[in-house]
Amino acid sequence: MDAIILQILNGLDKGSAYALIALGLTLIFGTLGVVNFAHGALFMIGAFCAVTLSRLLSLSHKVEVPGATDFLGNPQMRDVPYIYDIFGESLGASIIDWAVPLSILFAIPVMILIGVIMERGLIKHFYKRPHADQILVTFGLAIVLQEIIKYYYGANPIPTPAPAAFVGSFDFGALIGFEAGQIIYPYWRLVYFAFAALIIGAVFAFLQFTTFGMVVRAGMADRETVGLLGINIDKRFTIMFGLAAAVAGLAGVMYTPINSPNYHMGMDFLVLSFVVVVVGGMGSLPGAVLAGFLLGILESFASMREVIAIIPGINQVIIYLVAIIILLTRPRGLMGRKGVMED
Amino acid sequence: MSKGNLTRRGVLKTGAVAGAGLALPTYLSAQESGFTNAPTGSTVTLGFNVPQSGPYADEGADELRAYELAVEHLNGEGDGGMLNTFSSKALQGSGILGKKVEYVTGDTQTKSDAARASAKSMIEKDGAVMITGGSSSGVAVAVQALCQEAGVIFMAGLTHSNDTTGKDKRANGFRHFFNSYMSGAALAPVLAANYGTDRKAYHLTADYNWGYTTEEAVKSSTEAMGWETVGTVLTPLTQTDFSSYITPVLQSDADVLVLNHYGGNMVNSLTNAVQFGLRDRVVNGKNFEIVVPLYSRLMAKGAGANVKGIFGSTNWHWSLQDEGSKQFVQSFGTKYGFPPSQAAHTCYVQALLYADAVERAGSFQPCAVVEALEGFEFDGMGNGPTLYRAEDHQCFKDVLVVKGKENPTSEFDLLEIVEVTPVDQVTYAPDHPQFAGGALGSCNNGA
Amino acid sequence: MFGLDKKDASLLLIVAVLVAFAPFFLNPFPEGSGWAQFNAGYPDLMQRFVIFGIFAIGFNILFGLTGYLSFGHAAFLGVGSYAAVWMFKLLSMNVIPAIALAVITAGAFALIIGYVSLRRSGIYFSILTLAFAQMSFALAYSVLTPITGGETGLQLALDDPRIFGGAATEGNIPVPGFFGLEMRDSAQLVLGNWVFTFNVGYYFAAIIMLLSFYLSIRIFRSPFGMMLRAVKSNQQRLNYTGLNPRPYTLAAFVISGMYAGLAGGLMASMDPLAGAERMFWTASGEVVLMTILGGVGTLIGPVLGAGMIKYMENIISKINSDILHSWFAFLPDGLEDLVVTLIYPFIGKGWHLTLGIVFMLVVIFLPGGLVQGGQKLAGLFGRKKAQEPKNATTEPAE
């Protein structure tokens, strides 16, 4: 029983990442009708916002360590962050420690800016072009973004730990009536899940309860009519693109303590998130979120030893297998609308 | 029409051309030398085939640095590095057999297809007489087979799978790096000494050849020490989040977790394992421990503080204090500003060993080189007295058991050497079951 | 000629001439000069050009004509190579049975996957094919290791049975051949400083490529091809006229899968090793990119796109900083370093960056792909007659 609850938690956690990326992807699909292969790269850039901020905060000058030598026999140098000089050592250290949460504030404007530049500078010209052209141009863009990051940060993963306060595990089982120590779960993963739920809720509320959201939803349904009504839908779509980029970026920022980011993490998620979006159904935001959590949970269960013992290799293929089954039984995914990206 | 020496290109083989009935004047460059890409001018070209894109790009970049350093030393530039400490004194710093060493580089992308394409272009287009490099066993095995077929020498880079000198061994291929079996044999006694002999181990293993051989090696040598293996689970190569593989460990009664992972898999699985508080657990009255059989300092860096106190094995480490290692670290560090990785070390040594073998053989001919390397005993290359065994072209030398350092003094100071396992303890018979199958065949001169 | 109209016949003729004299065209720079780095006329790369050309031509039959975007086409190439290598291991080193089995296996595989996937259209179809290919990759890399060789790929071994001869000679594994003509045999022609290599494998693959190209022209021009275009332009209308498009699309899918299998079999014949990475989604993505880059729905476009990507991958990635320094050695030291620093990020290990930029530039400035670029060039030089017949350049898929 506890094993199952733990796998559900794992699934929700993985699902959070899938759902957040798929949400942004489907916003762009649904509103703009653009197949954005650079969406994974946006996730990756978000993660590197956290890396960049923690590097900025730890900008250092060198101080000689008396009596010690480095590997070449030269005097050993120690890095002292400038921030220590400004705020003192203890406050400085805790600011660096909190770099990842602080990056949220840093990443939102950066990601919105990147999103808007991308849309205005490039994607805008591809609304009327065939999907094939959109794939080629966004794929090219993804490679370029990835290579730029690789050029500056190298190819190896870069450790970006969570604040010390969030290291360690929370006794989740005690909350729901299990013995102490039966179901423990890392704090940061619970934070990630809560954060994802918050963002998803915010996006839905934004689309549902604001006039802006209403116009965008109308635009998703029938762009031409909305335009005829004299509403500048283009401008709103630009903002939507920025928003989608910010969602992907935040997903990336918060993901860094779970797995050390590297330059190709976006590509690792890209294919999966496309599968999630399509399984959820084209043009459906709730579908994307639902599919994200569903595939996350199924993936977790498939990796259990008991399951692999029955069907060897199932953990390798589960997501794709489920995708095939769902698409064959439900022609438009879980909650897809008729006519979106079907021709 | 000149019979010019301007072409560095060798001819694979002359023969009829299909379908095109060419009446063109064809200069059939029969190889007087009788082997592929015999160097004709005053230079000799080596091919450095390393990952420059993909997850192992940083490791590849370090390998390339080592090769450039090796070329410098072979050509008599720089401070000579390990040439000063190498037990064989055949190399004089005047190139190889008096020919200046030149090189070409390529990107393996850590894909066997791309690696072979790149190696082929070095052989067919650039006239490389030896190919070396790589950072995974899949690539090493693929390129080794290609070199055997084309008739050039392959000096493997970083490849740890038993198969490279086991079931997939080839006469033209040589491996200096250690292997899964040696990791297991070196680690087990240290683990037993530190963690006791009545441990229950749980393995997470990367689901491909290298993972299988490593799991088998570690399992059999720890079981011989009295450990019990309570579970083994295979994880997909493309897995990034290992949480769902780690929570079952919490449920089991295992008190040791062995992560048979490398590269990005290792960084992520270790990070996740520590996240789930495995290291703070107490099971069966013992502290829970994690073991990473193959350590790489470059990769350990990606896991940050999580590696502290975790045991593993490695081929070489820059903090070794023998003369050879000190020389190498000195010249590498002076040139690039940071200490070399184990990948850089093995590649540097391989380049020197090849050059030395050619020098001793007095010829670039692959079969002569193979003969010079087989059974060759040397010292002064950082691993103590070493033997290139003739039966499987594997180097036998001391293996390092290392541990993540608790208080690193710099960003390179991540591992500390716990024990240098003597070579006798990691030597096995050529027909050991873990290396069964396959045949070395005979050397191929190509052409 | 051959049942083609004049324009198509001349296109085929041009391609045939280009392919036959490729060893000259691709080696324009003399050996030993700094520019020799850009020579692509060595056997392995020439073989890759034509083999990936076949792969892309086949893909274009499906995507260019019907508009169905398969994102898992590399699976058929992978299956084809595995089949071919198994033939080499079990039967003989003759390439004919290997290639035949590769085509048949890939066709059968395509029939199954196509039958299932074609129940959906648009992006749903793409994801279904992607899912099948990713499953094939994952299983081939891990669970199916005994059949596929897993990580290290499927290779020949000294102790393979090979019933029809071709036993190991002197401890070496035999090489694939065509009735005694070894695929790796080459002849060289030295003219002054130029060296041209004529390789058996290349010409063998080239002839097959020309046949495939011819077949694809015939398909494009046939009533069957018209049906496929009808599927693309309006499937609903086709339904209303009482026609069931499924058999047509399935036939196109299988043909296209067999082309991929043929390419896989040829790859294994040139270089007897089959690895699982051939089926990874990036490999499927690559053929999509090749086709779009060259020009979707055009006859020659996919081949150009394939050539372009393979050229970048094999030539640009091999330029290192030393070579750069030797090129710009004529500049004063400071300037030389500056120029090298500026160019360095785009070559060698940065070749992916250049590739990404090329993708973007082509799609931004040449919406019809490289073929359109060719037409523009032709227009510039005052040749009024466009090289490509108008009806060959159908609109890309929506």
**Residues B307, B191 share a domain:** yes
Q: How many domains does chain B have?
A: 2
Please list the alpha-helical segments (H only) found in C222-274.
223-233, 235-240, 246-270
Q: Do A140 and C356 touch (CB under 8 A)?
A: yes
pLDDT in the model for residue C349: 84
Q: What is the model's pTM?
A: 0.91
Rg of chain A on CA atoms, in Å: 22
Shortest CA gap B275–chain A (Å): 6
Chains that touch C (3 or more CB pairs under 8 A): A, B
**Residues B161, B226 share a domain:** no
Question: Given pLDDT bands bounded at 50, 70 and 90, which one contains residue C166?
Answer: low
Chain A neighbours among B 281-340 (CB < 8 Å)? 298-299, 301-306, 318-319, 329-330, 333-334, 339
Question: Given pLDDT bands bounded at 50, 70 and 90, which one contains residue A235?
Answer: confident
B64 in a structural domain:
yes
User: pLDDT higher for A223 or C252?
Assistant: C252
Residue B279, pLDDT above cutoff 60:
yes
pLDDT in the model for residue B32: 53
- Least confident piece of the model among A6-20, B7-21, B68-82, C254-268: B7-21
C261: which residues sit within 8 A by CB, 6+ positions away? C76, C77, C79, C80, C83, C102, C103, C104, C105, C106, C107, C109, C110
Residues C330-387 have pLDDT tens digits of 888 888 889 888 888 888 888 999 999 999 999 899 888 899 888 888 888 765 444 4
Question: Given pLDDT bands bounded at 50, 70 and 90, which one contains residue C389?
Answer: very low
Shortest CA gap A47–chain C (Å): 20
**Residues B75, B160 share a domain:** yes
Chain B neighbours among A 148-187 (CB < 8 Å)? 150, 154-159, 161, 168-169, 184-186
Q: Mean of the pLDDT values across residues C168-189?
A: 82
**Residues B201, B128 share a domain:** no
Q: C-alpha dihedral over C267, C268, C271, C277, to 10 degrees?
A: 80
Enumerate the residues of chain C whose CB falls inside 8 A of the CB of residue B23. Answer: none
Q: With helix as H, strand as E and coil as C, how does A11-53 read?
A: HHHHHHHHHHHHHHHHHHHHHHCCCCCCHHHHHHHHHHHHHHH
Q: Which of B314, B332, B351 is the last residue of a domain?
A: B314
Q: Confirm if C37 and C279 have CB atoms less than 8 A apart.
A: no
Q: Do B7 and C143 touch (CB under 8 A)?
A: no
**Residues B213, B308 share a domain:** yes
**Residues B141, B264 share a domain:** no
Q: What percent of chain B has pLDDT over 90?
A: 72
Short-list B408, B422, B388, B194, CA closest to B319: B408
B327 in a structural domain:
yes
Shortest CA gap B242–chain A (Å): 9
Q: Mean of the pLDDT values across residues B243-257?
A: 91
Q: How many domains does chain A have?
A: 1
Distances in Å between the Cα of B342 and the Cα atoms of B158, B297, B393 are 8, 8, 20
Q: Do A3 and B238 touch (CB under 8 A)?
A: no
C327 in a structural domain:
no
Domain that holds residue B66: 43-178+318-393
A21: number of Cβ within 10 Å: 31
Q: Do B29 and C190 touch (CB under 8 A)?
A: yes
**CA nearest to B307 within chain A:** A159
Chains that touch A (3 or more CB pairs under 8 A): B, C
Shortest CA gap C203–chain B (Å): 6
Chain A neighbours among C 348-367 (CB < 8 Å)? 350, 352-353, 355-360, 362-364, 367
Distances in Å between the Cα of B142 and the Cα atoms of A194, B168, C267, C272 are 46, 9, 14, 10
User: pLDDT higher for B429 or A231?
Assistant: B429
CATH code of residue B278: 3.40.50.2300
Distance, CA of C372 to CA of C378 (rounded, Å): 10
**Residues B307, B360 share a domain:** no
Shortest CA gap B375–chain C (Å): 20
Residue C87, pLDDT above cutoff 80:
yes
Distance, CA of B329 to CA of B340 (rounded, Å): 6
**CA nearest to A143 within chain C:** C356
**Residues B47, B158 share a domain:** yes
Give the distance between the most distant pair of CA atoms in chain C: 75
C258 in a structural domain:
yes
Q: How many domains does chain C have?
A: 1
**Residues B267, B370 share a domain:** no
B289 in a structural domain:
yes
pLDDT in the model for residue A231: 80
Q: What percent of chain C has pLDDT over 90?
A: 54
Question: Given pLDDT bands bounded at 50, 70 and 90, which one contains residue C396?
Answer: very low
Interface mutation target, options A118, A133, A149, A282, chain C, most CBs of C under 10 Å? A133
C319 in a structural domain:
no
Q: Do B17 and C43 touch (CB under 8 A)?
A: no
**CA nearest to B3 within chain C:** C190
Residues A259-289 have pLDDT tens digits of 999 998 998 888 888 899 999 988 788 999 9
Q: Backbone phi, then psi, for B355, in 5-degree steps? A: -60, -40
C134 in a structural domain:
yes
Q: Do B236 and C203 touch (CB under 8 A)?
A: no
pLDDT in the model for residue C151: 84
A105 in a structural domain:
yes
**Residues B155, B81 share a domain:** yes
Distances in Å between the Cα of B38 and the Cα atoms of B101, B446, C43 are 13, 10, 19
**Residues B289, B380 share a domain:** no
A91 in a structural domain:
no
Round the average pLDDT of chain A to a whole number and report it. Answer: 88
B435 in a structural domain:
no
Residue B34, pLDDT above cutoff 90:
no
User: pLDDT higher for A99 or C163?
Assistant: A99
How many residue pairs from chains A and B have C-beta atoms closer than 8 A? 124
Residues B68-85 have pLDDT tens digits of 999 999 999 989 999 999
A64 in a structural domain:
no
C340: number of Cβ within 10 Å: 18
Chain A neighbours among C 166-185 (CB < 8 Å)? none
Distances in Å between the Cα of A185 and the Cα atoms of A9, A10, B276, B348 are 8, 9, 6, 45
User: pLDDT higher for B238 or B447?
Assistant: B238
B24 in a structural domain:
no
Q: How many CA atoms lie within 13 A of A305 on its CB side?
A: 16
A82 in a structural domain:
no
Chain A neighbours among B 338-367 (CB < 8 Å)? 339
Q: Do C189 and B104 touch (CB under 8 A)?
A: no
B6 in a structural domain:
no
Domain that holds residue A172: 2-55+99-329
**Residues B275, B127 share a domain:** no
B10 in a structural domain:
no
Out of B251, B298, B329, name the one closest to residue A156 (CB).
Answer: B298
**CA nearest to A127 within chain C:** C398
CATH code of residue C71: 1.10.3470
Q: Mean of the pLDDT values across residues C13-29?
A: 92
A17 in a structural domain:
yes
